Amino acid sequence: MINKYLTIYDTLVEQIKNGEIRPGTLLPSEHELTEQFQTSRETIRKALNLLSQNGYIQKVRGKGSIVIDVSKLDFPVSGLISFKELATKMGDKPKTTVHELSLITKPEYAIRQQLSLSAKDQVWKVIRTREIHGKKIILDKDFLNKKYVPSLTKEICEESIYEYLENDLNLSISFAKKEIIVEEPTAEDHELLDLEGFHNVVVIKSHVYLEDASLFQYTESRHRPDKFRFVDFARRQR
Amino acid sequence: MINKYLTIYDTLVEQIKNGEIRPGTLLPSEHELTEQFQTSRETIRKALNLLSQNGYIQKVRGKGSIVIDVSKLDFPVSGLISFKELATKMGDKPKTTVHELSLITKPEYAIRQQLSLSAKDQVWKVIRTREIHGKKIILDKDFLNKKYVPSLTKEICEESIYEYLENDLNLSISFAKKEIIVEEPTAEDHELLDLEGFHNVVVIKSHVYLEDASLFQYTESRHRPDKFRFVDFARRQR
DNA sequence: AAGTGGTCTAGACCACAAA
DNA sequence: TTGTGGTCTAGACCACTTC
């Protein structure tokens, strides 16, 4: 059997999405749910806390758990939509072009800083553009610590580096720190992207960490501003 | 006495920030912590889960809790830096100008939609610009449901609407759904902001909810792109 | 085999809301 | 007063890492 509290979570999410439990109404009380799912209250509370964190319910002491209207925004609860999702959403086959794939033996200072490298660490540098409806709208610059990724090919970069990491290398990404800013396009942006007169690019700088909290990738994803969208669900405080 | 698990959380955060517990090392085990803080393991685990959610540690089964290097980004763990923080960080007194403060008796369709209003609900409309170093760089357009905010003055809008809501009206914001996109400046942007040749504005659209999950505010915060910055800590999965 | 974190339990007491 | 969610406990068993 799989996790009990996750199956309860999934069940409730399903019921909320289906409309079996309507927005604005109350969930059954924790006591009732323990009977419904034949489990202890703490287990129910774990499931409910997940629902709360992911924006499905709002818990109110003394009252109950209010179901939030999740229909207002159509997206994964939080975060940047990935390139593949973006492309398929726009009804297009995603197309990736690899402009550079090289192994840097002596990384420059800025990169060593970003990846907290020691003097002898080597780094994969990958530069790719992403195309939707025939327009190159995203420029991805990836730097990966060779310590964790011994080999890398053009074919892998054209598909998905992440799938390669997870499926073949058995590396698992656990968290990322992202920063979003707007910059003037560089010469490289002008050369590789179809900017069509846009005067800014949206830049997402990410530090990506593995399960053991080791930093293994730094990425700059540079987007044409008209195609950029980021959503966030922010719960107040702890 | 206040919350036990929160005080434990605060203690550990303090130790991590001070450097008493160094990044890359392991926290004491949960068992050890129960003895250190004279409490049960589940209470310790509540504190540790908070640390994990807020990006201070990474828990690894069988190993322990790794302390993450929190110094790489200097900011509140996640989210948009507020105007006041931004201003004080740049060593300037924040200055707010109120351009409009009006009560709309018949809100247009778009606003009724955004705030899920019934036909007879009235809405406060507030338009303000924010100034740093003598430049108007943020345009805030707020729409507040009068049902929750009976009165509003120019003085309140020049200070902080939020402080008024929380301190005087005893209203508490619980969560917000935000969307970030980049737009061409409108005529209004050109009129009210010091755009200085910038061709885009970063727009943060927010739906703000109260503790009982009722939607009470819709806001568009329009930023000059060079002064915009957003940070995000994204943990994978649930 | 020993130590770590992950899940689950059954019960207790508390703070808050509504009737 | 009753019902709700919030905190806390002491213990159990499991899955994983390390030795």
Mean pLDDT within A13-26: 92
Mean pLDDT across A159-172: 84
Question: What residues contact residue B104 under an 8 Å CB cut-off, 6+ apart?
Answer: B111, B122, B123, B124, B125
Written as six digits, the tokens of A89 are 């959403």
Neighbours of B42 (CB within 10 A): 11
Query: Encoding tokens for residue A177?
Result: 């720190």
Tell me the Ramachandran region of residue A193: left when phi exceeds 0, alpha when psi lies from -120 to 50, beta otherwise.
beta
pLDDT of A219 above 50 = yes
What's CA B93's distance to the chain center, in Å?
20
**Nearest residue to B226 (alpha-carbon basis) of A202, A159, A34:** A202
Q: What is the pLDDT of residue B227?
A: 85
Residue nearest to nucleotide C16 (CA to C1'): A62
**Does residue A27 lie within 7 Å of nucleic acid chain D, judged by its CB?**
yes
| A84 close to A143: Cβ distance less than 8 angstroms | no
Predicted pLDDT at B223: 94
Say whether pLDDT at A76 is over 90: no
CB < 8 Å to A212, chain B: 58, 60, 63, 66
Average pLDDT score over residue span A41-61: 95
| Token pair of B12 as six digits | 């550990």
Residue A142 to residues A145, A218, B176: CA-CA distances in angstroms? Answer: 10, 6, 32
Give the CA dihedral A13, A17, A18, A19, nearest 10 degrees.
110
| pLDDT value at residue A138 | 93
pLDDT tens for each residue of chain B, 238 residues long: 579 999 999 999 999 998 899 999 999 999 999 999 999 999 999 999 999 998 999 999 999 999 998 766 555 445 555 566 555 666 667 789 999 999 999 888 888 888 888 878 899 999 999 998 899 999 999 999 998 998 999 999 998 888 888 888 888 888 888 889 999 999 999 999 999 989 999 999 999 899 888 888 999 999 999 988 888 888 865 4
Mean predicted confidence (pLDDT) in A114-126: 87
**pTM of structure:** 0.88
* Window 59-118 of chain B: CB closer than 7 A to strand D: 60-63
Predicted local confidence at residue B163, as pLDDT:
82
With a cut of 60, say whether residue A125 has pLDDT above it. yes
More confident call, B22 vs A162: B22
pLDDT at A137 over 70: yes
What's the rounded Cα separation, in Å, for the pair B117 and B107?
9
- What domains does chain B contain, in order, with CATH numbers? 4-67 (1.10.10.10), 73-231 (3.40.1410.10)
Contact B185, B200 (CB under 8 A): yes
CA Rg value for chain A: 22
| Structure-block tokens of residue B144 | 């507040």
Provide the CA B41 to C1' C5 distance, Å, integer. Answer: 11
**pLDDT attached to residue A77:** 47
CB within 8 A of B50, min separation 6: which ones? A238, B5, B6, B9
Q: Establish if A235 touches chain B: CB-CB under 8 angstroms.
A: yes
Nearest CA in chain B to A63: B212
Residues 143-202 of A with CB under 8 A from B: 172-182, 198-200, 202
d(CA B229, CA B121): 35
Mean pLDDT of chain A: 88
